[in-house]
Structure 1
Amino acid sequence: MHVEIYGSPVLCADTEAAKALCDRRRYSHVVRDAAGDLISLCELRRRAPLSATLPQIFVGTHHVGDLAAFEAAERAGIIEQLLGGQ
Structure 2
Amino acid sequence: MKPIEIYTTPYCGFCQAAKRLLNQKGAAFTEHDVAADPALRRVMMDRANGGYTVPQIFIGGTHVGGCDDLYALERAGKLDPLLAS
* Count of residue pairs the alignment pairs up: 84
Distance 1:71 1:42 in 2: 25
What is the aligned-residue RMSD (CA, Å)? 1.6
Report if the CA contact (8 A) 2:44-2:52 is conserved.
Answer: no
2:8 equivalent to 1:3: no
Taking structure 1 as the reference length, the TM-score comes to 0.83
Larger RCO of the pair (alpha carbons < 8 Å, separation 6+): 2
Distance 2:51 2:26 in 1: 26
Q: Point out where structure 1 has 5 or more consecutive residues left out of the alignment.
A: none
Query: Deviation of residue 14 (structure 1)?
Result: 0.8
Give % identity. Answer: 35
Query: Deviation of residue 31 (structure 1)?
Result: 1.1
Query: Deviation of residue 62 (structure 1)?
Result: 0.7
Distance 1:66 1:60 in 2: 15
Distance 2:72 2:14 in 1: 14
Query: Deviation of residue 83 (structure 1)?
Result: 2.1
Report if the CA contact (8 A) 1:59-1:79 is conserved.
Answer: no
**Match in the other structure for 1:12:** 12
Taking structure 2 as the reference length, the TM-score comes to 0.84
Distance 1:84 1:66 in 2: 19
**Match in the other structure for 2:77:** 77
Superposed CA offset, 1:30-76 (max 9, x none): 21112221232222022013213111111011111110001111222
Distance 1:74 1:2 in 2: 18
* Secondary structure of residue in 1 paired with 2:7: strand
Q: Point out where structure 2 has 5 or more consecutive residues left out of the alignment.
A: none
